[in-house]
Structure 1
Amino acid sequence: MEDLTLNSKNITIFPNPSSDFIQISGLTKTEKYILYNILGTKIRNGVISDNEKMDIQNLTKGLYFLKFENEHTIKFIKE
């Protein structure tokens, strides 16, 4: 599990690794995000709220980086 401290709270992506969806917990508000692959290519962007699920079924297997508008980045693995 990948954790980072944001406003003295932990942001966690689970399950990690995952094949169908990821869920982000620990956000204090709705955050804009950009999803990048391991090569740094932008895959998608949008907004996500605390405990909201993100569908990753259409992504190819590999390592991804979820960068939030507040500049914090968290990584996850698509199986």
Structure 2
Amino acid sequence: MPAGQYYLEFFAEPTATSYLYDYIFSLQNNLSVDENVIADFKVYPNPTSSKIFIDSNEVFEEFKIFNILGQKVLSGSLFGTKEIDLGSLTTGTYIVKISNVEKTISTKILKQ
């Protein structure tokens, strides 16, 4: 869903009494993982125990890593390197966002 304000209405009928609920909520940033738009893009190994490597013809400038709660847990520069050290992270699933001026690529990584 794109960022914005949404209106939600639902109807519940638990017994003889009916209820109508109305909610307004805002969606700010979406941390979903879209399909990679670069054909020659690979992050490996996945799963990993320490480092991941980026295999791409594109030059990426920075990375951000988010846990499954959407909290940024690691970030850094990719100038001069195509590897990211995940040694400080605990075991779990993470979203890796790798970007340059033109685009951002996201992928899921399992840290063992």
Mapped to 2, the partners of 1:47 and 1:13 lie a distance apart of 16
Q: Which has a greater percent of strand?
A: 1
Deviation at 1:49, TM superposition (A): 5.5
Deviation at 1:36, TM superposition (A): 0.4
Q: Within the alignment, does 1:16 sit opposite 2:49 as a pair?
A: no
Alignment of 1:1-79 (within 5 A): 4-6=36-38, 9-48=39-78, 52-69=82-99, 70-79=103-112
| Aligned 8 A contact 1:20 1:55 in 2 | yes
Deviation at 1:28, TM superposition (A): 0.8
Q: Which has the higher contact order (CA 8 A, sep 6+)?
A: 1
| Aligned 8 A contact 2:60 2:98 in 1 | no
Runs of 4+ in structure 1 off by over 3 angstroms are: none
RMSD across aligned C-alpha pairs, in angstroms? 2.2
Deviation at 1:30, TM superposition (A): 2.6
TM-score, scaled to structure 2? 0.57
Unpaired stretches in structure 2, ≥5 consecutive residues? 1-34
Unpaired stretches in structure 1, ≥5 consecutive residues? none
Q: How many residues align?
A: 75
TM-score, scaled to structure 1? 0.77
| Aligned 8 A contact 1:14 1:22 in 2 | yes
| Aligned 8 A contact 2:61 2:77 in 1 | yes
Deviation at 1:57, TM superposition (A): 1.2
Percent pairwise identity: 28
